[in-house]
Amino acid sequence: MPSDEPNLLPVAPGYKNVLRVRMAIAGLVLTGTAFIVDRVLLAPEGYGGLLVGTSLVLAIALIIVAPQRIYRRLRYGVGSHLLQVVRGWLFHTDTVVPLVRVQHLDVVRGPFDKMFGTASLVVHTAGTHNSVVTVPGLAPGRAAEMRDIIREHVGTDAA
Amino acid sequence: MSAPTLPDDSAVGPPERLHPLFLVKGIGGSIRGLAGLYAFLGYLVISGQWSFAILAAIASLLFGIVGGILYWRRFEYRVGQSEIRIDSGILSRRHRSIPFERIQDADITQGPLDRLLGIAQVKLETGGGSAGKNAEEGVLQAITLQRAHELRKLIRARRAGTPSVDRQVQEDRLPVYAMDLRRLLIAGAFNFSLAIFAGLIGITQTFGDALGFDPLSERFWRKLLAASAPLQDFALAHRGVVAIAGSTLLVVIGAATGVIRTVLLDFGFRLDRTETGLRRRRGLLTRTDVTLPLKRAQAALVTTGPFRDAFGWSELSLKSLASDEGGRRAHVLAPLAKHEEINHILSELGWRPLPDTPGWRQVSKSYVGAFALAISPLLLPLAVQALVYPPAAIGFAFGLAGAVGLRWLAWKRTAYALDGDRLLVRTGWWRRRLLVLPFARIQSADVTENFVSRRFGTANLKLGVAGGTMAGEIIPAIPSATARQLREQMLSLPA
């Protein structure tokens, strides 16, 4: 059978910045929690600063390393009748959605998306598992374009 | 009343109320619903504040009665030309209109009280993707049974655009599948269950402290034994007899639980073919009458266990967009059936019978290997235990070996096959499952790998099915390239 799998494309580079901001927030929460635990539990024992230091190093490593890797492994493609999203580093997921099974579509832009010029395309299927498939980090024009491509197929399923 | 419809609009139909006997049922329900209240009352009783407890009980009873009456007063439904309208809500009003073309069918349920009072609950099955999330959609709690049947007939007629087939004609036709008493008892025997003990433990855990009864504490048994010293001597003297008597009791209780549960649920099980689907009636105390529209069927599931399988019995259920009673996602079509009967039901659905030898392709051995690798970190505590207390370590080791052994047995049975335009997936050793999934019902497909499975070069193929479980349907541990190829083959067919 001739391969119908679509050509896989990388998402907009701005998505790396979105990821960095998200990681930074996660790191901040982690460090903040660590700080409180550190002050309350460890400082009286004489181990103050240990936990905060560790989590700070971890958070910085996360901000530097993770976005690049997540971005590099995130690929998407729209073919004549399939949408494919490939993602994941340790846990690798390769999702395919037949366009005729799509129920409805959203283009979502959060505050960080607006800041860095990206958008997410959210595809809803009738499935209980994986009923929402997201393609993050698209340029807004591209997201709208994909939505229009996929919209043509919505509801053409006989069932 | 703030109804947006004019009361005398003929297109909307005259307003109708629930049957007044709803109050008997509804008050019971609204009182039963206040679970927090019981805890509160229990607390008051235990702490000795009797007068306050009685006051609180009376107050909540009044609350329940007034609430029930208000709900009944404020609940109206209208059967119009093209839709059914339901206006409900005591303070915040909800005006719902359900067009006939969206109503798949009406499910009629009668609890024991309903049957005494001659009323029934009607659920308008709209079967959207949101079913389950919004179970309240179109439920008429209590109307007369006669009105319920009228309503159903009307819905079918409106939907089809043609007069409905006379009920009498249907009754005369042979059922697609039915259970006689003998079949029911066999099914009950296979539903052997010791769940009642789990329930008892749960209850004593929750209430045991208050009752001074806690079978999980050693002191309880010591006290009991001390109180029954003669019995203790007897038990020690006749250990064999006591062991046999105890096991017999367990078996009897387990079998009885299974039979009682099955009889309550499946008594008078009957499946009929209707114009649009399969109609199922069952239940001893609570009678249910459910029609499953054929168009909504997503996948068929044949489940069995090692014992039932040995006798050639299995259960057939259908994954559907609509959810079954009690929140079960799969509609049971036959609780206990032979293979020919299952094929017969499938043919009534318009599906091909299951092939005898579908050409199973077994999954990779990494199904066992990756599992063994995943639980291998447990070897560390095992080693520690072996040093500290060897007898416990032996038991632990047997447990681990048993887990891997069961996984191996499951692997022997885990296989998939392509049967024309549908996929067959067979899994499990204890819970044997055979999924029949038409390609056209696959909503999405994931190929997932992780750092362990990549070592074996295998992947899981996860298929999204409407009305399935959150985990999706999985073909585990097949070579990555095969998974991708299979996926392409299943999804590339023009819909």
DSSP state of B468: S
DSSP B32-89: HT-HHHHHHHHHHHHTT-HHHHHHHHHHHHHHHHHHHHHHHHT-EEEE-SSEEEEEE-
Residue B165 has what pLDDT? 47
Residue A110 sits at the chain B interface (C-beta within 8 Å): no
Residue B35 has what pLDDT? 62
Judge whether B298 and B321 are in contact, CB under 8 Å.
yes
Six token digits for residue B274: 């209707």
What ranges make up the beta strands (E) of A24-113?
Answer: 75-78, 82-87, 92-98, 102-108
Q: What is the pTM assigned to this prediction? A: 0.74
* For residues A30-40, average pLDDT: 86
- β-partners of residue B320 are B297
Query: What residues of chain B, 309 to 338, have a C-beta less than 8 Å from chain A?
Result: 321, 329
Chain A hits for B462, Cβ within 8 Å:
129-130
Residue B444 sits at the chain A interface (C-beta within 8 Å): yes
Six token digits for residue A159: 């069932």
Q: Which of B258, B259, B329, B322 is CA-nearest to residue B291?
A: B322
Residue B342 has what pLDDT? 93
pLDDT tens-digit profile of B373-407?
A: 888 888 888 888 888 888 888 888 899 999 999 99
Of A96, A97, A128, the CB nearest to B469: A128
DSSP state of B352: P
Chain B hits for A94, Cβ within 8 Å:
446-448, 484
Residue A98 sits at the chain B interface (C-beta within 8 Å): yes
Tokens 């697609």 belong to residue: B176
What count of other Cβ atoms lies within 10 Å of the Cβ of residue B127?
Answer: 21
Of B129, B321, B446, the CB nearest to A130: B446
State whether B443 and A94 contact (CB < 8 Å).
Answer: no
Judge whether A113 and A136 are in contact, CB under 8 Å.
no
pLDDT tens-digit profile of A70-126?
A: 999 999 998 888 899 999 878 889 999 888 888 888 888 888 888 898 999 998 887
The residues, any chain, with a CB within 8 Å of residue B60's CB and separated by 6 or more, are: B31, B34, B37
Query: d(Cα B18, Cα B262) in Å, to the nearest integer?
Result: 32
Query: d(Cα B334, Cα B179) in Å, to the nearest integer?
Result: 8
State whether A96 and B487 contact (CB < 8 Å).
Answer: yes
Which residue pairs, CB below 8 angstroms and at least 24 apart, start in B281-286? B285/B111, B285/B112, B285/B115, B286/B109, B286/B110, B286/B111, B286/B112
State whether B465 and A131 contact (CB < 8 Å).
Answer: no
Chosen for mutation from A4, A94, A133 (greatest number of chain B CBs closer than 10 Å) is: A94
Instruction: Note down pLDDT in tens along chain B; length 495 residues.
Output: 444 445 455 567 788 888 888 887 766 666 666 666 777 777 777 777 788 888 888 888 888 888 888 888 888 888 888 888 888 888 878 788 888 877 777 888 888 888 888 888 888 876 554 444 444 567 888 888 888 888 888 887 776 654 444 444 455 578 889 999 999 999 988 888 777 777 666 666 555 555 555 555 666 666 666 666 666 677 677 777 878 888 888 888 888 888 998 998 899 899 988 877 888 999 888 888 888 878 778 889 999 988 899 999 999 988 877 656 555 567 888 999 999 999 999 998 888 999 888 889 999 988 998 889 888 888 888 888 888 888 888 888 899 999 999 999 999 999 999 988 899 999 988 889 999 999 888 888 889 988 888 888 899 999 888 876 666 788 988 898 899 889 888 887 554
Query: d(Cα B146, Cα B152) in Å, to the nearest integer?
Result: 10
Chain A hits for B484, Cβ within 8 Å:
5, 94
Residue A1 has what pLDDT? 35
- ipTM of the predicted structure? 0.81
Of B470, B484, B492, the CB nearest to A129: B470
Residue A158 has what pLDDT? 45
Chosen for mutation from B298, B441, B474, B492 (greatest number of chain A CBs closer than 10 Å) is: B492
